Structure formats: C-alpha cells, structure tokens
Amino acid sequence: MSTYLDTGRGANRLVASLDAAGHRLTGPRLAVAELVAAREGHFTAAELLVDADRAQPGIGRATVFRTLDLFTSLGFVERVDLPGGDHAYVACDPVHHHHAICTSCGRSTDVDDVGLGNVLAAIGRRSGFSVTAHRLEIFGLCSACSAERP
C-alpha cells in the first residue's frame, strides 16, 4: 500500500507537489486526496464519486474527475485498465513502477521493473522500434489471497 497521500505529515508531499506546479490547495482536493488514500487497492471513478458524495456532500462530479486527472498528472494516482476493460485508478508514488493487481481482493502491489528495461531494449533492437513508453499491468493473486484458496 502506498501512503504518499496520507493526511498528517504525508500530506506535505501533496501540498509541495501542488505548489510546485502552481496549483492551489483547496478543500475538494484535500478531500479527494483523503478518499484516495483511504481506499485499499484500485477503485473506479464511480466508487470514488460515491465516497466523495458521502464524505463531502455537494462536491461536484466534475471536480472529482478533474482532481483525479490532476493527481494522475502529478503521479499520485495512476490509471489502470482492468482485464475486463474497465478503467480504474490506483494510488501510487510518483516514480516509475508497475502494479500487480490481485484479481481476488483488488489490492495492488507496487513493483519496479528491474529486468523489464532489458527486455524492452531487446524488443526495440529486434524490431527497429524506438521505445519511448510502456505499460505493464500484472494480474494474479496476492500472497494473502493465494494462501486462502490454494
């Protein structure tokens, strides 16, 4: 679980990041940050909208989407595409990494891509492709869930 958005000390990172990019620290943004931090694993926009409406009735639908976009552009949230094709979001740290998503409980584990760089380089070499970006999503059972149902 990522803790970058936690309230208290952790929120400093968010504040600093917003500030650095010239964005204001507003009530709705803090509220969304807390909701995201409170979520375990990935969540859909719809789920967050429900949360938001409960936590702060009157918060605008558009604002939630805008905030999600903003956080995504700052690297605090990442969008993932579930196997079924749905879009979801995951809280995460703003460094390059990937997500291993548990198809049973939905939690996601951050994973760095040691080794993947070499694979991509090899692919590029072989196909003449000059790779500028990649997306890797991993699905399976987390250790807890695979222990439960072996």
> For binding to DNA (CB under 7 A), which residues are involved?
19, 22-29, 44-46, 58-63, 65-67, 69, 85, 87
Q: Which of 37, 48, 92, 101 binds Zn ion (CB under 5 A)?
A: 92
User: What is the distance between the alpha carbons of residues 145 and 140, in angstroms, rounded to a whole number?
Assistant: 10
Instruction: Give the nearest distance from C-beta 19 to its own copies in angstroms.
Output: 26
Residue keyed to tokens 């990172």: 13
- What is the C-alpha separation between 75 and 98, in angstroms, rounded? 12
Long-range residue pairs from 92-95, CB within 8 A, at least 24 positions apart, any chain: 92/2, 92/4, 93/2, 93/4, 94/4, 94/17
Identity of the residue, 30 or 142, whose beta carbon is nearer to its own copies in the bound complex:
142
Residue 42 in contact with residue 79, Cβ under 8 Å?
no
Binders of its own copies among residues 100 to 129 (CB under 8 A) are 100, 102-103, 109, 111, 113-116, 118-120, 122-124, 127-129
Looking at beta carbons only, is 30 or 88 nearer to its own copies? 88
- What is the closest distance, in whole angstroms, from the C-beta atom of residue 47 to Zn ion in the complex? 17
Distance of alpha carbon 13 from alpha carbon 74, whole angstroms: 11
Footprint of its own copies (CB under 8 A): 79, 81, 83, 85, 87, 100, 102-103, 109, 111, 113-116, 118-120, 122-124, 127-143, 146
